[in-house]
Every structure is written in structure tokens, then in C-alpha cells.
Structure 1
């Protein structure tokens, strides 16, 4: 069974590829996931790593140096001065994210009316599987292109990051590529909208009550 490896080490990190980046020597968490990805974390910034290499990639370990490479000939070179902790764990099959009632119902409603998200949009499948979990809705545009939709009650940066990862994986399938993204939520924070726009992801603010066919109190005269 695939294992997740956690290493706490005093290290420096150099990324060489489309751009270069350097992290000076300091204690950090190195996370090697079962999907082959390697990420470097500090004790802040919540979920977001300082640097990382997404799969498909491979790790070459030599004394004092880890080198992570991908097919694009990019590399993440981790120079290790001291290892403070090294352990591996089997996490098993993850049951996936359990959405709250509103978010789950919102996804159902949008699956029934995908044209709410764009004229001519039709549903291919709900919960379309990827290697890192299912994308909420996979749709077809009026022009025949593939559209991946991530549905949230509140649209925040982590939702945009999640959709970005889905788009990367779906785009590798020649039967689906090219794949564009739609980030749909009842409310979308300005920072999330800015990040989505920068990544070519279209944002749609959804009226949950209107989708349910509920009466709008603010439209009543009495």
C-alpha cells in the first residue's frame, strides 16, 4: 500500500525550471505523498507549501541531497544538513470530502441546470474522478470543449487552488484536453476571484434561493 513519508530536516531548497527559487538553510517539513509529489513546508502559511513538485515526478536520494525531477526537466534540489525526524505512514483510502448540506445541494441543483453557469453548458458527469479526488461537475460547452466546475458555498483561495490541481490532471487526458475551469459559489472573496482570474478560471456567483425556486423576501411589497 502506498505510504506517506514525513521528514523534518535542516535543509536548503533550490528550484530550477521555468524560473529559479532558493530557500536558505533552515528546519523544514518535507512531505512525500503516495501520489509521488514532494512538498516543502514551514511552520506557517497553513496548507500552502514553500515549494513543491507535482506528479508525475520522481525522487532521487543521495547522501545529503534529494533531487526531484519531472518530465519537463524541472528539478527541486533539497540539500540536507541534518535529519531530525523521518517516518512513513499508511493512511489507507481516503473517503473524500463530506460537503455540508447547502454545498452538496447546490452541486445537485447546478448539475440539473448547468446552463446557469454558462449558456449552452451541458453536464457530462457529477463527481468526475481524478487522482486526487473528484471534481464536482464535468461539463461540455456549447463549442464542445470540456469545462471543470468546482462548487463552494463560500469561494476562497483554497477552492481555487483545488480547482487548479484538478485542471492540471484533467488536462493530461487527450480525450478531455483542453479543459477550462469555472469556480462557482454563493459568495466569492476578492482574493479568490483575483487568483482565479489570473489562472484563467471563470468565476460565477450563484443564487442558491433562486435555484431552489424559493421566494425572495426582498422582492415582496408587503
Structure 2
């Protein structure tokens, strides 16, 4: 990972345009190719970013522009994140190694175990290949085969939000480069899926599945019952 603290101006050019005027910010360049721009607020959320697959090149500074370098980050759709650097205060690179992945809470881990045991909840003819199928950026919860023998990556959450869809999207991009697996489709499974997450998933061809925890455990819910 490369960390750069610098004065910078950022322009996004693609399906829409966005502009960040010159200011002091943190730039993160990760080994997966992603680039994100951060201010000293907003918790983890960047001001702007480009997700992989994308490529960073350094290009000549346009005439009349004041800066020390111009980074152009381009994705496969031809969209660009143009970062004009001013004064650079810090520039360092760090090797973090392979991350062991997120340790899930009890409910999420149990959902994964239950869905693996009852894999046909995903649909008739589904079979389990393995749990925690490892990719270069972390483990996919379940790798399955559908009734036609096609590969299916399943990401399981207790509460399905946009971050989970983005996570599954990254897994699918990597797995579809593997000729022994491709084509790989995706299923985003959760007890509750937020409308924005469902919209994003369906736009990317990812199927959404609501999980009934009690049904998977083989128990009947007593919610709204008097006795």
C-alpha cells in the first residue's frame, strides 16, 4: 500500500463529473489497483475513489496548471480520476501481506454454516463446492454449483448493505478471471437487504436472497404470537 499526504485537486470524469478543489488530503493506492482520496473526517468513507480493475499512470501536467505531478486513474469503462498533486508532505509504501479476512460475528458465521448445510435454499440442484473459498483479496463465504454446473459465489451478511455488494463485486471480478471457474455468478444473501443495496446488486447482475434464520435452524419463529 502506498500512502501519500499532499495538496491535491481531484476531478472525476465518467458517467458524471465531480470536482474537489486543491486541499490537503490522504491518497491511498492499494496493491489491488484501487485509489481513494480521503479527508480527515467521514470515518472510513473516501471523498472519491476508483475501484479495480483500474490503472494509475503519471501524465504531463496541462499547460497553465500549477502542480508537481498529475495522476490519471482509468478503469475498464474509460472513466478517469484525475489527481493533480501540489506540495507532497509524505510518500511511503508498505507491504501488508495477505489479510486473513474478516472474523464474522456469531450470527453471520452461523448463517454461513446453516446455508452450507442447506445449500438448496439457494435453488433446486445447487451443490456446495466449499466454504470460505480463498481469493487474493479474501475468502468468499460459499462457492457453489447451480443446477447447470455453473459456478456461484455467495456472500452472506446479517444485514445486507452497499458495502457487502461492493465486496462481492470485487470477488466476482477476480474469480471470473479464473478459467477453471468462469463464468461465476453471484448471490447476495442476508436476513435483511437495504433497498439501495438490492438496487446496486441487481444492476450488477447479482441475485439477492433473503435468509430466514429460524427456518434454516429448523425452528418456528414465535414473533407476534401470544402463546
Pairwise mapping of residues 53-132 of structure 1 onto structure 2 (< 5 A)?
Answer: 53-55=51-53, 57=55, 59-60=57-58, 64-68=69-73, 76-132=81-137
Asked if 2 retains the 8 angstrom alpha-carbon contact of 1:157 and 1:192, the reply is yes
Coordinate RMSD, CA, aligned: 2.7
Q: 1-side partners of 2:59 and 2:131: how far apart?
A: 40
Is contact 2:9–2:84 with CA below 8 Å preserved after alignment? Answer: yes
Indicate if the aligned counterparts of 2:100 and 2:138 stay in contact, CA closer than 8 A: no
Q: CA deviation at 1:61?
A: 7.6
Quote the offset at 1:70 in angstroms.
6.2
Partners of 2:198 and 2:74 lie apart in 1 by: 32
Separation (CA, whole Å) in 1 of partners of 2:39 and 2:169: 22
Could you tell me which runs of 5 or more consecutive residues in structure 1 were left unpaired when the two chains were aligned. none
Structure 2: give runs of 5+ residues left out of the alignment.
61-67
| TM-score, normalised via structure 1 length | 0.83
Count the aligned residue pairs. Answer: 218
1:160 Cα deviation from its structure 2 partner: 1.0
CA shift digits 1:165-210 (9 cap, x unpaired): 1111111112222221111111112221222122221111111111
Residues 67, 215 of structure 1: CA spacing in aligned structure 2 closer, same or farther, 3 A cutoff? closer
- 3-state SS of paired residue (2:138): coil
- 1:102 counterpart SS class: helix
Does 1:12 find its partner at 2:12? no
Secondary structure at 1:129's aligned position in 2?
strand
Task: Tell me what 1:141 maps to.
Answer: 146
Please give the secondary structure, in 1, of the residue aligned with 2:104. Answer: coil
2:144–2:153 contact (8 Å) kept in structure 1: yes
2:202 maps to 197
In structure 1, the partner of 2:21 is: 25
Specify the alignment match of 2:168 in structure 1.
163
